[in-house]
Structure 1
């Protein structure tokens, strides 16, 4: 039977993730210690999201959840901490920020925080936090009647990948004399083992304990899988290999790898690495 083998939380969009042993399921994605996936985001002077696509060194900004702060580390930078408590709305600046085609309200973190991130990335930028009263929904073209909230993700609350899919890619890379790649190149939230390569493409649902998840959209791959998450540099690039067998006609022949997924039932359920997963398929 398939097993849940990885849980990854990304508190800050496009920065390093946190590997978890357990996480709470919410409609907006994984949550741990009351911190949600992609709850924070780095923006430029026009309040537009920054990602590893333009700033690969974002991969080197490592968040860690402490008792009441989010601790940040980055090479050559002093450790920095930001409070986890939500700010008093009367004291904080609320701004409108852009993440792809969406514009939502967010708290603007302070100038000291902006300076730390600007120095870490070598560009003028600020950190913002998703406003608790803001609403952003995944595309109903894919979720149909279901309203699936998400924060600052690219578009959906969770990304699921099976280890068999990565094994298949790595076999092809190694056959060409190239290095195998780790799963973190694809930045999934949930990883399953013991399912066949790309079987997640054909899943109707995943059941983990009392929770039921539904894959809704193949995940189109941008250049981020080309970025080494340990060095923050481009290369080696797997996209040329993926181009030969992972273009998807449902996605205008874009390369896809993994499935964007929403929560059908089980809000508040805690899922743990090592749990069995029931995968319902529709070939």
Structure 2
């Protein structure tokens, strides 16, 4: 493997057996004031889904077992939200504006990313070659520059034809750093983000959890449509808790992996696009219904989040990298 390959891509992290020793190592890794972890936990349910979204705004890959890292979920070369599509000015694009991205289904075998779409030919991209042969450049996420590798002309042409039938208006890029990206400053003023909490290319944090019961309750309030947890694109789906119990939690433990809840996940227009068809809901549901009863109440949070309603949790790893999570693991909270 080339010496240009980043540490976080190539290194093998050994999972520690004892939570306390893992946390000590994590303190050294972060070089920040440690968060005091709870000593008492209450089981609220079990883990029913593990989802990894390797390309921002594209399809998910469901796993049975996965590794937790400070950059998010990982299974070899498969990692969460480390690729994205950018326009000809290197600004990131999402399914908010280009819903056809939702139907792009990625798979990763070894270092080869395969892209499939109902209206396109299958395409392979070798990420190891991208990392070894390309030099980092800059792309823009929420106004901030991030280092990326360009994944090449062939996949650029593929996405360009998919999105607007142009020759080369869009490009696929791959995150080119071993550190979490910088978060927009307005969010940092309202919430206590650490420098290793923001992942590669997600909007805010490295991990997201949705309570299935909360989505079920939302469906009882909707009249013209039904939604599922897929509308909210979570990494983890919890089954067994009561609706909106998550509003009262500070920490979540899945198996032996501990996460601190940084903030509620604030929802946008993406939730109103059917994740299977890419069709927008004419009444912008479920967003309008959520706005009726899932508003932020803290004044400082309102300055940051405005009228965006909450559904789900944005979380950061606190038990150290390398731990494994599997389907049906018990989920505890504190």
Whether the TM-score (by the shorter chain) exceeds 0.5 is yes
Q: Gaps spanning 5+ residues in structure 1: where?
A: none
* Equivalent of 1:132 in 177, 183, 194: 177
1:238-264 deviation line (CA, Å, top 9, x unaligned) = 112112111113333321111111000
* Equivalent of 1:154 in 203, 224, 228: 203
SS in 1 for 2:271: helix
Is the CA contact 1:39–1:130 (under 8 Å) kept in the aligned structure 2?
yes
Q: Gaps spanning 5+ residues in structure 2: where?
A: 1-43
Match of 2:281 in 1: 235
Q: Check if 1:244 corresponds to 2:292.
A: yes
* 1:190 shift after superposition: 0.8
CA radius of gyration, larger in: 2
Is the CA contact 1:137–1:150 (under 8 Å) kept in the aligned structure 2?
no
Runs of 4 or more, structure 1, over 6 Å off, are none
Paired residues, number: 276
SS in 1 for 2:330: coil
Flag the 1:266–1:59 CA change in 2: closer, same or farther, 3 A. same
The whole-number CA distance in structure 1 between the counterparts of 2:193 and 2:80 is 23
1:256-281 deviation line (CA, Å, top 9, x unaligned) = 1111110001411110110101111x
The whole-number CA distance in structure 2 between the counterparts of 1:233 and 1:66 is 30
Match of 1:265 in 2: 319
1:78-131 deviation line (CA, Å, top 9, x unaligned) = 101111325355x31422100103211100111111001111112520000000
Q: Check if 1:255 corresponds to 2:309.
A: yes
Match of 1:14 in 2: 57
Higher mean alpha-carbon deviation, 129-138 vs 96-105, is at 129-138
Flag the 1:276–1:57 CA change in 2: closer, same or farther, 3 A. same
Flag the 1:216–1:55 CA change in 2: closer, same or farther, 3 A. same
Higher share of residues assigned strand? 1
RMSD: 1.8
Higher mean alpha-carbon deviation, 4-13 vs 132-141, is at 132-141
The whole-number CA distance in structure 2 between the counterparts of 1:14 and 1:212 is 26
Q: Check if 1:37 corresponds to 2:80.
A: yes
Match of 2:212 in 1: 163
The whole-number CA distance in structure 2 between the counterparts of 1:61 and 1:87 is 20
